[in-house]
Amino acid sequence: MNRPLTPEKIVKACAKLPGWKFKRDALLKTFKFGSFREALSFMVRVGYEAEELNHHPEWTNVYNRVAVRLTTHDAGNKVTAKDVELAERMQKISWVG
């Protein structure tokens, strides 16, 4: 089982992740792209990273926005290092910040 990170470690990780917030036991961010096509291509690319990590985001897409919520289910829906790793990979992929 994955171990939840302390709130201090999560806040420290968010400081290095532009636009990410720690709220209600989750890492949250909304990415806003130039079009639906851009948002969808981001989601497809992140899908490969998520599959590699065997850690899949909770997310929604409406037109050019992708809202992401990261928690680890087998850690009681708390934030773990897996969530931070996926957020970091999303940041590297994103061209909108």
Q: What is the domain extent for residue 19?
A: 7-93
* Domain assignment present for 28: yes
pTM of the entire predicted model: 0.94
Q: What domain count does the chain have?
A: 1
pLDDT band at 30 (very low <50, low <70, confident <90, very high): very high
**Overall size of the chain counted in residues:** 97
Instruction: Classify residue 6 by burial, with Cβ atoms within 10 Å: 0-12, 13-18, 19+.
Output: exposed
Question: Per the domain annotation, does 1 fall within a domain?
Answer: no
As a whole number, the mean pLDDT across the chain is 95
pLDDT digits (tens, 9 = 90+) for 70-96: 999 999 999 999 999 999 999 999 999
pLDDT higher than 80, residue 46: yes
Would you place residue 33 in the very low, low, confident or very high pLDDT band (cuts 50, 70, 90)? very high
Residue 72 is classified by DSSP as B
* CATH number for 57: 3.30.1360.20
